[in-house]
Structure 1
Amino acid sequence: METTTAAPRLSRLFRLQWEQAQLAYVLLYPEGMVKLNGSAAEILKRCDGRSALPDIVAQLEQAFNASGLDADVQAFVADARQRGWLV
Structure 2
Amino acid sequence: MNPLTIDQVPKLRRGFRLQWEPAQDCHVLLYPEGMIKLNDSAGAILKQVNGDHSVGQIIASLSAQFPDVPGLDEDILAFMEVANAQFWIELR
TM norm structure 1: 0.93
Residue matched to 1:40: 42
Whether 1:86 and 2:74 are equivalent positions in the alignment is no
For 2:61 and 2:71, locate their aligned partners in 1 and report how far apart those are by CA, in whole Å.
Answer: 12
Aligned pair count reads: 87
For 1:21 and 1:70, locate their aligned partners in 2 and report how far apart those are by CA, in whole Å.
Answer: 31
Write 1 or 2 for the structure with the bigger share of strand.
2
For 2:85 and 2:63, locate their aligned partners in 1 and report how far apart those are by CA, in whole Å.
Answer: 24
- For structure 2, list consecutive stretches of 5 or more residues without a partner in the other structure: none
For 1:75 and 1:65, locate their aligned partners in 2 and report how far apart those are by CA, in whole Å.
Answer: 18
- For structure 1, list consecutive stretches of 5 or more residues without a partner in the other structure: none
Deviation per CA, 1:28-76, whole angstroms, max 9, x where unpaired? 0111100000000000010111111111011101112235311111110
For 1:3 and 1:63, locate their aligned partners in 2 and report how far apart those are by CA, in whole Å.
Answer: 22
The structure 1 segments of at least 4 consecutive aligned residues displaced by more than 4 Å after TM superposition are none
Q: Percent identity?
A: 47
TM norm structure 2: 0.88
For 2:38 and 2:89, locate their aligned partners in 1 and report how far apart those are by CA, in whole Å.
Answer: 14
- What amino acid does structure 1 have at the position aligned with 2:58? I
RMSD between aligned alpha carbons? Answer: 1.1
For 1:52 and 1:20, locate their aligned partners in 2 and report how far apart those are by CA, in whole Å.
Answer: 29
